[in-house]
Structure 1
Amino acid sequence: MRGEVLLKRLFMGLVAAFLAAPLVVVAGVSLNEKRRLLFPPEGLSLNWYAALFADEKWVAALRNSGTIAVLAALLSVSIALPLAWFLWRYRVRYARALFALGVAPFILPPVITALGFLVFWTSVGLYGAMGATIVSHGIFFMTLPLVNISLGLESIERETVEAARTLGADERAVFRTVVLPGILPYLVSSFAFVFVLSINEYIVSYMVSGFTVETIPIKIFNSLRYGYTPIMAVVAVLFVAVSFTVFGLMARNGRLLRILGRH
């Protein structure tokens, strides 16, 4: 029995090391003293971290990515919440069709969805606008909030809702006092998930804005044409840190496991 446990731990340790190896390499590259992508690093320095925030173009890309991610997450949750509430509250016959429509942008290959956005924004004359990128991200990632909020609504006992109505509460009061407090953690986690995914999104951003609105993924791609510098590794480290922080907090309250399907 002990041997079996040790083998399992050894196996999981090897898997963890295999998954962590690329992150270790990228983190090491970001510490290079010279302008080269070397691992192990030649000398240790944090100069490239300072160089990232001293370069106005990289700062602008960070600002664009952060703005788009925050507003896209708000838009995504704002669309998913009333749709999930309607499907849970009224149980209409076409609920499955509406739900399928809500998850369709994420189920389709990203390049297909991005191409659809490209055609639409070009036809209405808004290709290259930041607003187009925000709306595209919000719609593309709406699936996660829709699924997550639906899970939160299913965790609310309908008897509690009926009791509130019996006591004279109207629909608004029921939503404000019973439903909203129950799904608030799911709303927060939905916002966090869309925020992280939007920051890392490249295909939709490139197809909708080209190089007009330069986000961090697009900036990294553009930088590859002019030579490799450790700044790109620094950006990757920052992205990984943000993702680990967000997903770690979600996993700590159990929301990550719930959204992955655990009941």
Structure 2
Amino acid sequence: MTVVARNIFIGLVLLFLAAPLVVIFGVSVNEPKRLLFPPDGFSLQWYVELFQASDWRNALRNSVVIALGASTIAVSIAFPLALYVWRKQNALAKALFGLGVAPFMLPPVISALGFMVFWITIGFYGHIGATMISHGVFLVTLPLVTISLGLDSIDKQLIEASRTMGADDRSVFRTVIFPLVRPYIISGFAFAFVLSLNEYIIAYMVAGFTAETLPIKIFNSLRYGYTPVMASVAVFFVLTAVVVFGSIARFGDLPRLLGAERTDR
């Protein structure tokens, strides 16, 4: 394949991937309250309604609260687990790591069904906290993988040197390990936050209509009529992902966080 043909092929692929985003953005700025593309006029009223209408604002608040809580829970589980696996490297550590990545190996609907049965059994079904914990457990794989990559990248000679200088395990963790792995913790938190914000199946089966999130609100709105607010929500999701992952790419080592090997060794 020649260079020109390759560039044309890449351009067509990018155009194919960008086409739905262009359509969604066009619908979100449509002036009439209809899903039209090309847009009939230009208006940002549907973005204003997303933040001003009580039903959409409540759904947005629930989504953000759940995503923040779920990300915190996921990191709180993943960090000590990754630290134990990195230090021990035994059969139990490998089994625990496999258990940590297991949620992403199952179809989300299976995990959602399990969470739903569990919360109904203990009488906590429909609470926003149940959705938060369910998302945190389901998304623990993301920070677990990123934090494990960060721990594996630490030069063991730094730890040996600090211990030679008289530092105990607590000082080594506070002054060497944690500062080096902090960007990976933040990245794992960001990955879990974005996916929790967009997750629908678990939120729907665990919370139902009592803790309505933005994805649930979109699907519920489809029953009663189409509105460009749904398109503005989709654009909001895309912009959130761009800002979060763009910040990671700008201030962090995104290829390394995604598992690429370093080439400067």
Tell me, which stretches of 5 or more residues in structure 1 are unaligned? none
Moved more, 242-251 or 121-130: 242-251
Corresponding residue of 2:143: 145
Corresponding residue of 1:193: 191
* Distance apart, 1:104 and its partner CA: 0.6
Please show how residues 146-165 of structure 1 align to structure 2 within 5 Å: 146-165=144-163
Look up the equivalent residue of 2:51 and give its one-letter code.
F
Is the 8 Å Cα contact of residues 114 and 203 (structure 1) preserved in structure 2? Answer: yes
Q: What SS does structure 2 have at the residue aligned with 1:128?
A: coil
Moved more, 103-112 or 247-256: 247-256
Corresponding residue of 2:120: 122
Please show how residues 2-151 of structure 1 align to structure 2 within 5 Å: 4-151=2-149
Counterpart Cα distance in 2 of 1:73 and 1:190: 8
Is the 8 Å Cα contact of residues 146 and 258 (structure 2) preserved in structure 1? Answer: no
What does the per-residue CA deviation read over 1:163-212, in whole Å, with 9 as the maximum and x for residues that have no partner?
Answer: 21222222211111000111111011111100100000000101111111
Corresponding residue of 1:177: 175
* Distance apart, 1:251 and its partner CA: 2.6
Counterpart Cα distance in 2 of 1:40 and 1:118: 41
* Distance apart, 1:254 and its partner CA: 5.2
Look up the equivalent residue of 1:40 and give its one-letter code.
P
Counterpart Cα distance in 2 of 1:254 and 1:12: 26
What does the per-residue CA deviation read over 1:80-124, in whole Å, with 9 as the maximum and x for residues that have no partner?
Answer: 000000110122222221110001111111011111111111111
Is the 8 Å Cα contact of residues 29 and 38 (structure 1) preserved in structure 2? Answer: yes
Look up the equivalent residue of 1:114 and give its one-letter code.
A
* Distance apart, 1:255 and its partner CA: 3.6
Counterpart Cα distance in 2 of 1:129 and 1:49: 28
* Distance apart, 1:160 and its partner CA: 1.1
